Amino acid sequence: MSYSQFHAPVLTKINKFILISAGVCFIVASILKAVGAFSLVSVLGLSASGLFHGLIYQLFTYPFVEVQLMNFIFNGLVVWFIGSELESQWGQKIYLRFLLLTILGVGLVYTVVNLLFFFGTQFYSLPIHGLSGINFALLIAYSMLFPDRPMAFMMVFPMRAKTFCWILAGIEVYLAVFSSFTASWAHLLAMVISFMIIHFQNNPLISRALNSTWIRKSPKKKHLYVVKDDDQKPPKYWQ
């Protein structure tokens, strides 16, 4: 693909909010670290200990806490490029609910596992944070929507989106099992939840969670329908 064909997608509304929030948290975390104050991760990051003590807001704030510059830049680019295309395809309501299901699903499972199996250990108070979980969920969704789209692994090696995501999943499995990297388990969980939401999107519970509204309006209803690729009919995955 020639460089003349490249164009960045428009930064959509929800992803703009995500990046601004993460940017503010990154700046605040950097200032607090520079002056030797408390860690923002311990306040806004999600831990079983914090949730057990009533800090329910951590279920919603933990994805926005970035503390390393390169992580913030890389994760922000994924949200911009991949997330904006998905939001444009699905619409704001479905995209937002997809993110909420992923974020809350990862947070609740992570907390329950820590409460049941790691109560009183260091893992019980170890917080997860950052946009990486959202990014892995977005990449899985993108690879299922557009499996043959070209992507560049390590920004160098071209391959299909489906292959790209399988490699990422393999790396996370290795880190989780052999490097005891706790965050990798959360990343894998985000991938699984994303896969299940899309693969079983016709399930009444998932469909209702993504499409339902609390206010009755006109009979006109918007529903997901499936597409396999840009030109195929009948479709296979969401568009």
Q: Within a domain: residue 2?
A: no
Contact call for residues 178 and 185 (beta carbons, < 8 A): no
Q: Report the pLDDT averaged over residues 162-171.
A: 83
**Mean pLDDT lowest among 5-14, 21-30, 51-60, 92-101:** 5-14
Q: Within a domain: residue 226?
A: no
Average pLDDT score over the chain:
82
Q: Within a domain: residue 222?
A: no
Q: Write down the residue that tokens 């391959």 correspond to.
A: 159
d(Cα 225, Cα 90) in Å, to the nearest integer? 10
Supply the range of the domain harboring residue 81: 7-211
| Band (206; pLDDT cuts 50, 70, 90) | confident
Nearest to 231 by CA among 175, 168, 128, 148: 148
| pLDDT for the residue numbered 147 | 86
- In percent, the amount of the chain with pLDDT more than 90 equals 38
Contact call for residues 135 and 82 (beta carbons, < 8 A): yes
Encoding tokens for residue 62? 């933990």
Q: Within a domain: residue 51?
A: yes
Q: Within a domain: residue 230?
A: no
0.95 surpassed by pTM: no
Total of domains in the chain: 1
Helix %, strand %, coil % of the chain (to 5): 65, 5, 30
Q: Report the pLDDT averaged over residues 131-157.
A: 83
Q: Which residue has the higher pLDDT, 121 or 16?
A: 16
CATH number of residue 30's parent domain: 1.20.1540.10
Q: Within a domain: residue 90?
A: yes
| pLDDT for the residue numbered 216 | 43
| pLDDT for the residue numbered 5 | 52
d(Cα 175, Cα 186) in Å, to the nearest integer? 11
| Band (2; pLDDT cuts 50, 70, 90) | very low
| Band (237; pLDDT cuts 50, 70, 90) | low
